[in-house]
Amino acid sequence: MALIQPVQSLALPELAPYRTMRRQQEHRDQGIFVAEGEKVVRRLLESDLEVVSLLLPDRWAVEYRELIERRREKDLPVFAAERKLLEQLTGFSMYQGVLAVGRVPKALSLDELIKSAARPFLFLSVEGLSSAENLGSLVRSCAAFGATALIAGETCCSPWLRRSVRSSMGTVFKVPIIESKDLGETLQEARSAGIHLIAAHPHTDKRELPDADLRRDSLVVLGSEGAGISSRVLDLCDEQVVIPMQNKIDSLNVGTAGAVFLYEASRQRQRS
């Protein structure tokens, strides 16, 4: 049976991750992440990832009881407090007041996925992305359109930041994530494995997206919100592809552009 512990003191050592939600590097060093919101926490409890603790109002503790009792962790700490007290603890205004701390899963490598994933591969890679919300949105699109994995370059924010996890709506618990220490080397490894590298580049007069062949093993590269794809990474790509647009629009939000590329890949593969 889950033991629900009423929060009597905000100084409990077990509540430290919730008190330090703004200190994200600290969480990264500890290999933990914060899940926020009813659906996200529910999906964490339904996943295979390790759950460290829960912090939520009484009604949600009761709502989650069955899921909690199915968990493999013994004596999973469940802390209950009213939303106002939770806001005092975290320093954030909350709609639902539902929080959990999870353990970041073991790092994956491209080689592992090439050996184990179904073909044709469809990887989405991002370079220089600073917005956690955009990154979370891309993870969600990867889940929706069946991408093999998302590859975050060394200049990207982490997919395990609280805002990224929230924006992904918990799909980050399902989509394989590769956090590359050198995106250039990872892309070269992909090319050596016969994967076609496609730069999503808005300022090109080359191939338009509907004319690109995304049915083969493919890796789509997206750049940062401002600078786009670096010249080093662009030079590694086999081709540059542009999304055709009207009304003199020359670019899309990176989250939207990624969704368009993934949808087109899914469409081509279903038709073939």
3-state secondary structure 30-74: HCEEEEECHHHHHHHHHCCCCEEEEEECHHHHHHCHHHHHHCCCC
Our CA angle for 219, 169, 269, nearest 5°, is: 35
Domain 4-103 is found in CATH 3.30.1330.30: yes
Tens of pLDDT along 124-178?
A: 999 999 999 999 999 999 999 999 999 999 999 999 999 999 999 999 999 999 9
Q: How confident is the model at residue 213 (pLDDT cuts 50, 70, 90)?
A: very high
Q: How far, in Å, CA of 14 to CA of 26, rounded?
A: 15
Domain 110-271 classification at class level: alpha beta
Report DSSP letters for 150-188, one per residue. Answer: EEE-TTSPPTTSHHHHHHTTTGGGTS-EEE-S-HHHHHH
Among 81, 91, 30, 27, smallest CA distance to 54 is for 81
Q: In residues, how long is the chain? A: 272
Residue 205 clears pLDDT 70, i.e. is over it: no
Please state, in angstroms and as integers, the Cα–Cα distance from residue 146 to each residue in 63, 138, 159, 230, following that order. 31, 12, 18, 27
Q: Which residues contact 84 (CB under 8 A, 6 or more apart)?
A: none
Question: Do 4-103 and 110-271 share a fold?
Answer: no
Residue 63 clears pLDDT 90, i.e. is over it: no
Provide the residue ranges of all domains of the chain, joining segments of one domain with +. Answer: 4-103, 110-271
Q: How far, in Å, CA of 39 to CA of 240, rounded?
A: 37
Phi, psi of 249 (to 5 degrees): -80, 125
pTM, two decimals, is 0.92
Q: Is the dihedral of CA 127, 132, 136, 138 positive or negative?
A: negative
- Percent of the chain at pLDDT > 90 equals 68
